[in-house]
Homo-oligomer: A and B are copies of this chain.
Amino acid sequence: MTGWSAPTRETLFVLNDVLGVTRSEIPGYDMLDEDTVQAVVEGMGRFCTEVLAPLNPVADAQGCTRHGDGSVTTPDGFRQAYAQLIESGWNTLAADARYGGQGMPHVLGTVFEEYMNSACPGFMMYPGIVNGATSTIISAGSDHLKDTYVPKVISGEWLATMALTEGHAGTDLGLMRTKADPRGDGSYAITGEKIFISGGEHDLTENIVHLVLARLPDAPAGSRGISLFLAPKVLPDGTRNALGCAAIEHKMGLNGSATCVMTFDGATGWLLGEPNAGLAAMFIMMNAARLGVGVQGLANAEHAYQRASAYASERKQGRAMGQRPDPAAAADSLLVHPDVRRLLLDVRAFAEGFRALVLWTAMQIDAAHHGDEEADALVSFLTPVIKAFGTDQGFASAVAMQQVFGGHGYVKEWGVEQIVRDARIGMIYEGANGVQALDLAGRKLAKDGGKVAMRFAAMVEADLADAPGWLATPMRAALADSTAAAQAMLAQAASDPDALGAGSYAFMELIGLVSVGWMWAKIVQAVDGRDDGFAQAKRVVARHFAERRLPDSMALRCRVEAGAANLMAMPADMFLREA
């Protein structure tokens, strides 16, 4: 009993019944029939349940160890599990077939991301970057770099990192100091220090391919003077590159992941893409990573839910106020208490709707890969929402499920407090959630004058036509709140440069709320006419979302409409406490 097993029935329901992947006309989906989908989902589920989930408490208790020579040891069992992953082939399922991947749709790779993140998120951090890293090299690298590095990273023989952040400059990459001096032979000497590099050093693979942001000599100041480089731990001639792990961080959680301070001491690297165009290349990687982090939020919520629902079913405490399931017993299960049910249904209302949302989005990514520009624009619009709303709600879900355990939830042996600690980073890394919200409000909403937002709203509205009134009515109200909020924010922005920043967070939450509600409309539609327990449960959870979550849209709209004036009215020196 590891407290989690792959929710394959939920996944298959979403893929087959809600999203109809086997009937989809997205290119490449013709290879998907129900038997194939089931075999793949169940196979990935077994691997994560049997191989990865048992590692999770070990990873937390042991963490990673850096040795005097800069080498890093991962927790017990990680090396064997990683070898089994490569052996299983699940890691290459959705990877590019031109470079040795199996070329299956990304939607199936997303299922595997969820499962790995539920089973052992500290382990997932190592292969988790592969998709983004290889996409970046494929899109920006020379043929030589592509041929040398992509097949080995896709196969899993080597792993990769994103080496972006520096100590004095987190989100603000324009302040970056790491430099790259051309050597005249096509290579560059990279010098600087990067922090928070996940998997910067470890013992899972012989080589690690670092994608490093640095400045060329005479590069323009700020973010327009940043270039992206590829610098491997082991050079093609077999020698060690001049880079290494100077320290690993002691973190709140995610202890299985080695978060490294990396020093580059004239390390050899090659340019990826054009000089000073590093930010654009980096965003290929970042967007993949951001969606992956949103999936992590889902995975945290599902894992915590499974533990809490099992505990609530077994734990006998207190008595029902209403009908008692067993009047002779000294106590009833926690499930008789309405407020315990509220906690559990809150989490399901998020997790099940959000699972549909990330898989729907993954289908749009598959469509976008085949040239569908509308799908691409929708993915761009929803990426910051999936990242920020998903991780906020994933963390809140873990906290809520911890509450179901009472005091036991605070004690390490029950496993749920680890999920809270592990989940907390999702709201921060790959661009803190406030940055995601600003990306949504500024780049995704304002820059195109709200066009993609309107298309999104029209799609939601279309699916409400068949929804029952108890869902369609509050959904229309929430959609109207989100539209009004967008209009208010754009109107404020015409005269107030701080308006987007002031309203962005609540606006992001509005779009998150509406997106998940939209998926509930699809789910309810998918069980229409069915009256089995599974279908009944879906309607109960949908109604829970409608009754108890959608009304938040009113306050979120008010927060957007409040604007920036009062926020900015606080004198900067009044933020500090005087003793």
Contact = CB atoms under 8 A, between A and B. Distances in A.
A367 to B, nearest CB: 30
Contact of A505 (B171, B252, B342, B433): B342
Contacts of A10: 577
A58 interface: no
A565 to B, nearest CB: 9
A505 to B, nearest CB: 6
A547 B558 contact: yes
Interface stretch (A125-133, A199-207, A316-324, A520-528): A316-324
A575 B331 CA distance: 19
Interface in A405-443: 406-413, 417, 420-421, 424-425, 427-429, 432-434, 437-438
**Identical subunits present:** 2
Interface string A546-563: 011001101100110010
Contacts of A543: 566
Contacts of A578: 9
Nearest to A312: B575
A319 to B, nearest CB: 8
Given A9-B579, A551-B555, A424 B406 contact: no
Contacts of A427: 403
Contacts of A413: 250
B575 A252 contact: no
A463 B258 CA distance: 55
Contacts of A338: 498, 501-502, 564, 567-568
Given A317-B170, A437-B339, A562-B548, A575 B309 contact: yes
B548 A558 contact: yes
A143 interface: no
Given A306-B577, A428-B410, A576-B309, A345 B570 contact: yes
Nearest to A496: B322
A432 to B, nearest CB: 5
Interface in A335-379: 335, 337-345
A171 B567 contact: no
B540 A570 contact: yes
Nearest to A7: B577
Contacts of A494: none
Contacts of A462: none
Contact of A407 (B165, B175, B434, B559): B165
A39 interface: no
A487 B45 CA distance: 48
A466 interface: no
Interface stretch (A74-82, A286-294, A531-539): A531-539
Given A501-B337, A571-B537, A403 B433 contact: yes
Given A551-B559, A568-B341, A321 B169 contact: no
B171 A406 contact: yes
Contacts of A399: 395, 424
A500 interface: yes
Interface in A128-175: 165, 168-172, 174-175
Contacts of A438: 339
B576 A310 contact: yes
Q: Which of A333, A335, A562, A570 has most B Cβ within 10 Å?
A: A570
A579 B407 contact: no
Interface string A7-28: 1111000000000000000000
Q: Which of A413, A425, A497, A579 has most B Cβ within 10 Å?
A: A579
Given A411-B251, A551-B554, A537 B321 contact: no
Given A170-B408, A251-B410, A252-B412, 12 more contacts: A5-B579, A7-B577, A9-B578, A169-B317, A175-B330, A250-B413, A320-B498, A321-B498, A335-B572, A345-B570, A533-B573, A540-B574
Closest 4 CB pairs of A and B: A338-B501, A551-B555, A551-B558, A547-B562
